[in-house]
Amino acid sequence: MNTDVARLWGEACSLMEGELSEKDYQTWIRELNPKCFEGDTLTLEAPFGLYRDRIRRSFLPAIESAVSVVADRQCRVAVVVGSFGGTRPSAVTRPRPAGGRQSRHSRHRFGKRTFGNFVVGGGNRLAYLAARQLVGGNLSQGNPLFIYGGVGLGKTHLLMAIANELRNEGKRVLYYPGEDFTRKMVDALRHDRMESFRREFRVADAFLIDDVQFLAGKKRTQQELYHAFNLLHAAGKPIALASDRSPSELERLEEGLQNRFQGGVLADLAPLDRDLRYRILKAKLGEAGLTLESRVCERLAMTLRGSVREIEGVVARLRLAASEGGNVVGSDVLELLVAPFVRSSGPVNLDVVIDTVAWTYGVTRDEILSRDRSRRVAWPRHVAAYLCRRLTSASLPEIGEVLGGRNHTSILRAVRSVAERAGSDPTFASRLSELERVLGSGGSANSARSGGLRRG
C-alpha cells in the first residue's frame, strides 16, 4: 500500500475517531482498508457487500469530509469490496486526534466542563466573563485570552467550556495541553509530517492550548506556536491559553510570544475565598447526589483552603462513605474522613487558625469574634487564642484585635487557661495536638495521640 495513501487515511481516521461514537468507529471505520488515491478519489475496501452498503448509506459524508480536510481540497470516496478485515494505520502514520473534535475520551471530559457548571465568584469572574466574550465572537479586545493561576482553580475547566460552546456551534476546535503540542510537533519532525501538522491550524476555527508553561525553553516548539498563533490571529480566529503564571513571569519564553500573549486579555484566577469554596462544595455534592448537613457544609467550607481538586477529593471520600448511609453524611463520619484534607497547605495565619477552630468546635467565626461569653463559644475562643499565640508570630495585642478587639490581658488569660488544661487533661492535650496537626504544624501541646477530630 502506498505510504501517502496510508498517511492520508490515518489522518482522516484521527478526525473521524473524534467525530463518531466509539462503537461506530470501531465497528465500521476501523475495518476499512485504503486501496488507492487517484486524482481526487480515495478508494476504500470493505470486507463484504452488506458492509460496503452500510458504509455508503451511513458514513460516506463523514468520510469524505475528513479526507477533504486532510487533503486540503474537495475529495470523493469510493467504497468497494476487498479483502476481509482492514489494515489499521500504524502509530507512525496515524497521529492522535487534533484539529476538529477530540478523541472519545477527550470529548467525554469536555462534556463535563461547561460554563453552566463553572461556579463564578469574585476571584474568577473576570476570566469567566472574558471566556464568554471570546465564545460570543467579540474578539476586538479579548483575543487572545490568557488565563493564569494556581493549580486546581479552573483554568482547564474554562478552556474546555470554550471548546464545548464552540463545538456546539459546529466549529472545529484545536485543543492541546502544552506537552502534547511539543510531542506532536517533534513526532511530525521525526517522520517528515510538518506540512500535515501545520495544515491543522489552517483548517481550525479556534485554538486552545493549556499548560503554556511547559513550552518555556523549547525554542523550536515556540517557533511553531508563534507561526500558528499568527496564522489564526490574522484570520480572526479565537485563541485561548492557560498557564500557572502570567506571560511576564514565564522564564525562557520567546519575546515574540510573550508580546502576542499580552496583546489580548490577561485574566488571573485568585485563590478560592470562603464563599466560593462553599458554593463549589455544594455544587460538587449535588453532582455526586450527596446531601451534607448545612451546618457541617459551612464548617467544611471554612476549613478547606485548597483548590477545586481538593474539594473534589473530599467529595469522593464522602461518596464512598455515603454508600452505606443513604446519601446522607453526618458530622461524625465527616470529621473522620475529612481530617486528612484540612491540613494547611500554606503558612498558618490568624484567620486560618480561627476558621479551623470554629470548624472543629461547631461554632461560627462570627460567634468566636462576638461578645458571647457562654461556655459553648468562650472555650473555642480560648483555644483559638492559644493556637494563634503558639503557631504564629503575632503579638498578644494583635491576636486580641483579630479576636473581636479584646485586650492583651484577656488573651494572656485565655492562653494560660488552655495550657493549664492541656497539662492536666491528657484527652484534651491529644485533641489540641490533633488540631495543630490539622493546621500543618509538627509540634504538639503535650503528648500526641492518633484519632479523628472531636469536640472537646
Range among 49-53, 359-363, 370-374 with highest mean pLDDT value = 370-374
- In the chain, the amino acid numbered 36 is C
Question: Are the beta carbons of 231 and 201 closer than 8 angstroms?
Answer: yes
What is the pLDDT confidence band of residue 85, given thresholds at 50, 70 and 90? very low
Q: Where in the chain is the domain with CATH 1.10.8.60?
A: 272-341
For the chain, the average pLDDT equals 78
Tens of pLDDT along 226-235?
988 999 898 8
Tens of pLDDT along 204-237?
889 999 988 888 888 888 988 898 899 989 888 9
- In the chain, the amino acid numbered 50 is L
pLDDT over 70 at 332, yes or no: no
Domain 343-456 matching CATH 1.10.565.10: the answer reads no
Q: Where in the chain is the domain with CATH 3.30.300.180?
A: 3-81
pLDDT at 448: 30
Q: Residue range 56-73: average pLDDT?
A: 86
pLDDT over 60 at 28, yes or no: yes
Counting residues of the chain whose pLDDT is more than 70, the rounded percentage is 81
Counting residues of the chain whose pLDDT is more than 90, the rounded percentage is 19
Q: Where are the strands (E) in 22-90, listed by range? A: 33-38, 41-46, 76-81
- Between β-strands 76-81 and 41-46, what pairing exists: parallel, antiparallel or unpaired? parallel
From residue 186, alpha-carbon distances to 193, 218, 410 in Å are: 10, 11, 67
Residue 25 DSSP class: I
CA atoms of 118 and 128, how far apart (whole Å): 8
Question: Helices in 235-328 by DSSP H: which ranges?
Answer: 255-261, 274-288, 294-303, 308-322
Tens of pLDDT along 111-160?
578 898 899 988 899 999 999 999 887 777 678 999 999 888 889 899 99
Of the listed ranges 30-39, 89-98, 182-191, the least confidently predicted one is: 89-98
CA atoms of 319 and 385, how far apart (whole Å): 35
CA atoms of 300 and 54, how far apart (whole Å): 56
Range among 28-32, 164-168, 190-194, 410-414 with highest mean pLDDT value = 410-414
From residue 185, alpha-carbon distances to 11, 143, 176, 251, 421 in Å are: 15, 24, 11, 21, 65
Q: Residue range 184-196: average pLDDT?
A: 82
CA atoms of 299 and 339, how far apart (whole Å): 12
Domain 3-81 matching CATH 3.30.300.180: the answer reads yes
Instruction: Enter the C-alpha cell of residue 41.
Output: 478519489
Q: Where in the chain is the domain with CATH 1.10.1750.10?
A: 343-456
Q: Where in the chain is the domain with CATH 3.40.50.300?
A: 104-269
Q: Residue range 27-56: average pLDDT?
A: 84
Tens of pLDDT along 397-448?
999 999 999 998 899 999 999 999 999 888 888 878 877 776 765 433 333 3
Question: Are the beta carbons of 31 and 46 closer than 8 angstroms?
Answer: yes
Domain 104-269 matching CATH 3.40.50.720: the answer reads no
Instruction: Enter the C-alpha cell of residue 262.
Output: 499580552
pLDDT over 60 at 346, yes or no: no
Whether the CA torsion 315, 317, 319, 321 is positive or negative: it is: negative
pLDDT over 80 at 338, yes or no: no
CATH architecture of the domain 272-341 equals: Orthogonal Bundle (1.10)
pLDDT over 70 at 184, yes or no: yes
